[in-house]
Amino acid sequence: MEFQKPILYGERLMRIAYQGEPGAYSEAAALRYSDHADVLPCESFDDVFRNVASGRATHGILPVENSIGGSIHRNYDLLLEHDLPIVGEVELPIRHHLLVLPGTPLERIERIYSHPQALAQCERFLRDLPSVRVNPTYDTAGSAKLIKEQGLADAAAIASERAAEVFGLERLRSDIQDYSDNITRFLLVGRSGEPDLVPDKTTVVFSLTNAPGALFKALSVFALRDLDLTKIESRPIRGRPWEYLFYVDIPVGRQDLRCARALVHLAEFARSLRTLGSYQSWRARESAAAAAEPTA
């Protein structure tokens, strides 16, 4: 791929906030979106939003869905709580490795640390280590940092190859995830997107009156206009037990006439409706990058 000029927002370089330590998969996703971006590690997903809102970062990146482990519900809630639109997405293949202090044999390991999602994605591997205690932590790379800083010779972390490099650990076992097609989808949020990109995906959230056929009626506004839905996620509405918000991904931009008309139709009877973002999909971004590569 040809070298890309740094993306500037006003006079600033693109700076992407992410949750975790250096070597986290969220950092890898940020650099996959833009390999020349500056990155800002944060302790929590809430901090990611705060740093973007305050101007310390131009964008934030959030994992929202894994092809094996499912949705990261907290980040769907945060998208609604904050007024920062979705401006892009990234799909990142996830490869997990068992990391230890150099020279540590497998039979010496008594504890394994990692994020709950990573532990769930390596269930088969962990099942073959019945005497090892599994300890959930806030971050995969943070688990690697724990092993290094505390000199834990009887423990291991499940994390990325880059985390091994950052913290000077050894890969005792590689590719220990249960499935090879382990992919996490991330959303990029920010006060502005890249102005030259044409959106081809839209994410909306809506709520409905609890009545027979309400959801069928809501989905029909898309079906009647031959619009596919690539994702539907329901989340409970706080303070209103057994009522739900519905997050929907539509594979066209908000400017598409069919999408615009569908949302106007939905707004006629939805209790609430909000567009969370209209942006370029990862598939479109990859296609554009491939088309820009010089031919032999």
As a whole number of angstroms, the longest Cα–Cα distance in the chain is: 65
The pTM assigned to this predicted structure is 0.90
User: Mind listing the pLDDT tens digit for each residue in 224-269?
Assistant: 999 999 999 999 998 899 999 999 999 999 999 999 999 999 999 9
Tell which wins on pLDDT, 96 or 288. 96
State the catalytic residues.
Answer: 184, 186
Range of the domain at 55: 8-93+182-194
Report yes or no: 183 and 89 within 8 Å, Cβ to Cβ. no
Structural domains counted in the chain: 3
> 131 and 159: one domain?
yes
Distances (CA, A) of 76 to 33, 70, 247, 263, 272: 20, 12, 8, 20, 16
> How do beta strands 38-42 and 15-19 pair?
parallel
Average pLDDT of span 173-196: 91
pLDDT the model gives residue 4: 38
Residues in contact with 169: Cβ distance below 8 Å, sequence separation at least 6, in sequence order: 99, 100, 101, 102, 144, 147, 148, 157, 163
SS3 246: strand
Q: What phi, psi does 139 have (nearest 5°)? A: -165, 145
One domain, residues 64 and 187: yes
Output the six-digit token pair for 65.
């869905």
Domain boundary among the residues 147, 165, 194 is at 194
The reply to whether 65 and 189 lie within a common domain is yes
For residues 88 and 101, state if they share a domain.
no
Question: Residue 294's pLDDT is what?
Answer: 67
292 in any annotated domain: no
Tell me the residue type at 53.
Answer: A
- Whether residues 36 and 166 share a domain: the answer is no
pLDDT tens digits, residue range 25-36?
999 999 999 999
- Are residues 84 and 106 both part of a single domain? no
Q: pLDDT of 102-131, one tens digit each?
A: 999 999 999 999 999 999 999 999 999 989
In a domain, 1, yes or no: no
More confident residue, 68 or 46: 46
Alpha carbons 281 and 275: distance in angstroms, whole number:
16
Per-residue pLDDT at 2 exceeds 60: no
Task: Report pLDDT for 296.
Answer: 54
Cβ atoms 29, 63 nearer than 8 A: yes
119 and 153 part of one domain? yes
Which are the contacts of 23, defined by CB distance < 8 A and separation ≥ 6? Answer: 140, 141, 144, 159, 160, 162, 163, 164, 165, 166, 167
Instruction: Give the range among 9-18, 81-90, 154-163, 173-182 with minimum mean pLDDT.
Output: 9-18
Q: Give, in order, the Cα–Cα distances in Å from 245 to each of 22, 52, 267.
A: 34, 25, 14
Sign of torsion over alpha carbons 196, 292, 89, 33: negative
**Do 214 and 246 sit in the same domain of this protein?**
yes
